[in-house]
Structure 1
Amino acid sequence: MEESRGVVKHVLLVKFKDDISPEQIEELIRGFANLVNHIEPMKAFHWGKDVSVQNLHQGFTHIFESSFESTEGIAEYISHPKHVVFAKLHFAYLEKVLVIDYKLSTVRC
């Protein structure tokens, strides 16, 4: 992964399996949000549920966004033992996953 300083976002789009309860989804969200308290490179965590009127979500229902100060921070997060355990436990809840990492850019006019 190319090293990049500046705010870097780690975005995860998911579709939960049909048999996952709302309570299980809430448990997953709480666990995901708690990672920011244990993994130093993870600076912020936000999440939301699709509310688009365009119906272009392709089945993805939730978005999870984490902020880092560099792509190196994302690499450290991905290999962190707390993240590894969390991912192993909760990946079984997911039917579809899409991950995108991007560096914030500004258009100068």
Structure 2
Amino acid sequence: MVMKHVLLAKFKEEVTEEKIEELIKGYANLVSLVPSMKAFHWGKDVSIENLHQGFTHVFESTFDSKQGIAEYIVHPAHVEFANIFLPALDKVLVIDFQPTPVN
């Protein structure tokens, strides 16, 4: 049962582009440190609809199960990273879901 963990972020204004790049690299590195984290993708908002509500970045992680997300959340590497990443954010929204194909 594949699960997706999606984090929408708006960085604080004082966070530099260089710091954002460093944080993204740290986030991506979690795939090599947390066994339950199978994949990581990210991107910046490019929508023309202007419905982003201030969120500028999206981060998507893939797990094999809901239990895998639970293991990730308490994993020491994730906890250490979150203590650096979250203070850099002005806004954050996290959603976990199981992708469902359209029949």
The TM-score bracket by the shorter chain reads over 0.9
1:93 partner amino acid = A
| RMSD, aligned CA | 0.5
Name the counterpart of 2:92. Answer: 97
Q: 1:106 Cα deviation (Å)?
A: 1.3
Is 2:48 aligned against 1:87?
A: no
1:30 partner amino acid = K
Q: Give runs of aligned pairs for residues 54-93 of structure 1, distance below 5 A.
A: 54-93=49-88
The runs of 5 or more residues in structure 2 that have no matched partner are: none
2:40 partner amino acid = F
Indicate the structure (1 or 2) with the bigger Cα radius of gyration.
1
Q: 1:57 Cα deviation (Å)?
A: 0.1
Q: Give runs of aligned pairs for residues 40-51 of structure 1, distance below 5 A.
A: 40-51=35-46
Tell me how far apart the structure 2 counterparts of residues 98 and 21 of structure 1 sit (CA, whole Å). 21
1:13 partner amino acid = L
Q: Secondary structure of 2:41's match?
A: strand
Q: Deviations over 1:35-69 (max 9, x none)?
A: 00010100000000000000000000000000001
- How many residue pairs align between the two structures? 103
Name the counterpart of 1:27. Answer: 22
Name the counterpart of 1:11. Answer: 6
Q: 1:91 Cα deviation (Å)?
A: 1.2
Identity %: 62
Tell me how far apart the structure 2 counterparts of residues 92 and 70 of structure 1 sit (CA, whole Å). 28
TM-score (norm 1): 0.93
| Structure 1 segments (4+ residues) deviating >4 Å | none
TM-score (norm 2): 0.98
